[in-house]
């Protein structure tokens, strides 16, 4: 079986990078918020993880993209962006768009002087799982952009947070 993927990253303009906290409805611009969190936690070990998950329901596909701040002295803080669009019935296309969304956010943050620790991909290295077919391409793509990629069964805070938000 042969799969062909087109890789398409659109550098999102600033107005599209509106995220939310889990605790409130207010949206905010991503880069200034991340810089504020980094500044508030200066002197503490902090890792930034990105992840994305998607779900088809009814006639819509929903994506949740997350930024997880793992701060040694206080645990994790999660912010997210949730998007809905007409249903994407092809599973491979829907899953590949998860990688694209995570990379888009990582590149946006890099452009604003913020380095991301890891992009968590919601794909499984177990060859019996359907998402396994995307592991090699997705990891290669993420790493070609200069980011570290992780897949299941590793602990994936970015992907797990996105899974909880999208469901």
What is the overall mean pLDDT for the chain? 89
pLDDT tens readout for residues 34-77 = 999 999 999 899 999 999 999 999 999 999 999 999 998 888 99
In the chain, what are the domains?
14-166 (3.30.420)
Which carries the bigger pLDDT value, residue 117 or residue 150? 150
State the burial class of residue 77 (Cβ atoms within 10 Å of its Cβ: 0-12, 13-18, 19+): middle
pLDDT of residue 13: 46
pLDDT at residue 74, rounded to an integer: 85
Give the strand order in the sheet containing 118-124: 27-29, 18-21, 75-86, 60-71, 46-57, 118-124, 149-152
The two most distant CA atoms of the chain are separated, in Å, by 50
Tokens 């949740």 identify what position? 64
139: tokens are 């990891």
Angstrom distances, CA of residue 90 to CA of 22, 34, 78, 96: 30, 34, 29, 10
The verdict on pTM exceeding 0.85 is yes
């Amino acid at each position: 079986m042969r799969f062909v993927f087109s890789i398409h990253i659109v550098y999102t303009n600033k107005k599209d990078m509106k995220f939310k906290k889990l605790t409130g409805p207010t949206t905010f611009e991503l880069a200034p918020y991340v810089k504020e969190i980094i500044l508030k936690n200066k002197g503490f070990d902090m890792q930034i993880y990105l992840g994305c998950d998607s779900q088809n329901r009814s006639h819509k596909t929903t994506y949740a993209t997350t930024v997880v701040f793992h701060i040694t002295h206080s645990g994790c803080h999660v912010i997210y962006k949730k998007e809905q669009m007409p249903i994407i019935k092809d599973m491979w296309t829907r899953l590949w768009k998860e990688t694209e969304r995570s990379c888009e956010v990582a590149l946006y943050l890099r452009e604003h002087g913020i380095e991301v620790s890891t992009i968590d991909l919601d794909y499984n290295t177990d060859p019996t799982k359907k998402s396994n077919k995307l592991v090699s391409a997705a990891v290669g793509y993420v790493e070609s952009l200069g980011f570290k990629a992780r897949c299941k069964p590793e602990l994936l805070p970015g992907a797990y947070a996105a899974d909880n938000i999208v469901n």
